[in-house]
Chain A
Amino acid sequence: GENVEQHPSTLSVQEGDSAVIKCTYSDSASNYFPWYKQELGKGPQLIIDIRSNVGEKKDQRIAVTLNKTAKHFSLHITETQPEDSAVYFCAARFENSGYALNFGKGTSLLVTP
């Protein structure tokens, strides 16, 4: 079936550094790619998303880039802060699963002061 691969599974950075999380997807027809942040014991929250007709999108310290030819997309967090520590999930919308989102396995980000 269709899937989403996410790397790395864990990432530790110093406060103020940048963090990059990468995802690849298998369905070339996918057209929507969101990123979610999940804090311990809570539901995931949408932090940024991108559609297939756009190559890059920014929202303050967060950016997402999409390469449709290579079928990969990345989350970039600049000037990281301790409150950025959480689990981050990428996802892709697949046509053959009724447009439900397929999620990567998550990246546990730790930002140390």
Chain B
Amino acid sequence: DGGITQSPKYLFRKEGQNVTLSCEQNLNHDAMYWYRQDPGQGLRLIYYSQIVNDFQKGDIAEGYSVSREKKESFPLTVTSAQKNPTAFYLCASSGQGYGYTFGSGTRLTVV
């Protein structure tokens, strides 16, 4: 079945560490996105990529980095520069029809 997979489901980060969240899709979608979700804040755009080897900053890109070396993969690194990283992270992809398919999310907690 086609879909989008995020891993891990839960992730714990110590102060000063970088961590990487995985996002893989087999839907043959060109565009991929990362959103952060906090209680009462909705979904805020971190980074997006419309084609391989190209990506753009969203509204809250500071403290995050991404790469898009393959069409299927769009990993997100939460760096030590992100001062408040505890949140639910959602990856999505979209094809020609505009609508997103979301992954099941990664819950990141700072310990």
Contacts and interface: CB of A to CB of B under 8 A. Distances in A.
Interface of A: 1, 6, 9, 32, 34, 36, 41-46, 49, 89, 93, 97-106
Given A41-B105, A43-B90, A43-B105, A101 B42 contact: no
A105 B42 contact: yes
Given A1-B59, A32-B98, A46-B99, A100 B45 contact: yes
B99 A104 contact: no
A97 B42 contact: no
10 contacts: A1-B59, A34-B99, A41-B105, A42-B104, A44-B100, A89-B43, A97-B58, A99-B98, A103-B44, A105-B42
Contacts of B56: 98
Contacts of B31: 99
Contacts, number: 59
Contacts of A46: 99-101
For the side of the interface on B, what is the size category? 20 to 34
A49 B43 CA distance: 17
Contact of B41 (A36, A45, A97, A105): A105
Given A41-B105, A43-B104, A101-B100, 17 more contacts: A6-B42, A34-B98, A42-B104, A42-B105, A43-B92, A43-B102, A44-B102, A49-B98, A89-B42, A89-B43, A98-B56, A99-B31, A99-B50, A100-B58, A101-B33, A103-B42, A104-B42
Closest 6 CB pairs of A and B: A43-B102, A105-B42, A103-B43, A100-B48, A103-B42, A32-B98
A42 B6 CA distance: 11
A100 B105 contact: no
Contact of A34 (B35, B50, B100): B100
Nearest to B103: A43
Contact of B45 (A43, A89, A102): A102
B2 interface: no
Nearest to A101: B100
